[in-house]
Amino acid sequence: MNNLCVAHRGFSGKAPENTRAAIQMAMDEPFVHWMEIDVQLTRDGVPVVIHDFSVDRTTTGRGKVKDLTWQEIRRMDAGQWKGRQFKGEQVPSLDEVLQMVKGRLKLNIELKTSGDMYPGLEEAVLERIRAHHMLPDVVLTSFEPKALIKAKELEPEVRTGLIIDAHPRNLISRLKQMKCSFLSIGYSHLDAAFAAELVRNGITPMAWTVDDAKSMRTLAKMSPDIMICTNRPDTWGQIFIQKIAPKVPFWRRKWRF
């Protein structure tokens, strides 16, 4: 399928981001084959799926993820901020998400870190991925080049990708130097020539975060190889499912019984 749909933090347009509800809602869409999530470490070293460095915005708790234990974060409600119907949703561990999606979705796992904020993050994430035998089903991405280099040193077989919201001239050479085969880039920095150059160099481009139909169509015209990361998989489905499955006149249909 062209222009693969990547559910951003699950189906976060409708459900609370990075929760089991959002993940399940994404999995319920048969055309969603990829999902992007964010991973950080608790104070006691548990990889958890949450975007912000603090829990304040998306939970009933307060404080920085790195200063809180897994049990403390577990007691927080991570759903009711999005709607009363999501009350009781919790911040999931990476382990729980891997169990949910194995055999159904591939994962873009963002190593959410800055500098040396999370010593051991790469080891902890890779350990869980290996435990579920999901190394071929993931790509590790990050804004932090050091995290990607460390992950690649620990596990040469893992795919890695830089996240960037810019298009510096030396970007492809930087990616090659870091042994990245994936690029997560703000969609406004992509054009057809650059997308083609990335693909020629063995680098998969993913555009983020694309929620409107017009931008999705523009990216599709640039290249079928651009993955589209969106909070609204339903919008993607309305565009591309119709596009790839046009109506066929009844006299040309192949009937199956």
- pLDDT above 80 for 246: no
Percent of the chain with pLDDT over 70: 93
Residues 17-34 pLDDT 10s: 999 999 999 999 999 999
Residues 33-58 pLDDT 10s: 999 999 999 999 999 999 999 999 99
The pLDDT of residue 254: 41
End-to-end CA, the chain:
26
Percent of the chain with pLDDT over 90: 93
Give me the count of residues in the chain. Answer: 257
- pLDDT above 70 for 74: yes
Residue range 5-242, CATH number: 3.20.20.190
Q: ∠ CA(58), CA(59), CA(64), 5° rounding?
A: 90
pLDDT band at 2 (very low <50, low <70, confident <90, very high): confident
Residue type, 5: C
* Whole-number Cα distances in Å, 144 to 113, 133, 183: 7, 25, 13
Q: Over the range 158-185, which residues count as b (16 or more CB within 10 Å of their CB) and which as e?
A: bbbbbbbeeeeeebbeebeebebebbbb
Which of 2-11, 114-123, 166-175, 235-244 has the least mean pLDDT? 235-244
Predicted structure pTM score? 0.93
123 closest CA partner among 19, 18, 39, 181:
39
Q: Mean pLDDT score of the chain, rounded to an integer?
A: 94
Q: Give the position of tokens 């017009």.
A: 214
The pLDDT of residue 171: 98
120 contacts 44 by C-beta, under 8 angstroms: no
133 flagged as catalytic: no
* Whole-number Cα distances in Å, 196 to 141, 148, 152, 203, 223: 21, 24, 25, 10, 7
Number of other residues whose CB lies within 10 A of the CB of residue 199: 15
The pLDDT of residue 1: 55
Q: Give the position of tokens 């200063």.
A: 67
Over residues 237-253, the mean pLDDT reads 59
* Whole-number Cα distances in Å, 140 to 30, 157, 218, 257: 24, 11, 27, 44
Which of 7-11, 87-91, 96-100, 238-242 has the least mean pLDDT? 238-242
* Whole-number Cα distances in Å, 116 to 111, 122, 151, 205, 232: 12, 11, 14, 27, 33
Domain residue ranges in the chain: 5-242
- pLDDT above 70 for 249: no
Residues 129-182 pLDDT 10s: 999 999 999 999 999 999 999 999 999 999 999 999 999 999 999 999 999 999
Residues 185-242 pLDDT 10s: 999 999 999 999 999 999 999 999 999 999 999 999 999 999 999 999 999 999 999 6
132 flagged as catalytic: no
- pLDDT above 60 for 93: yes
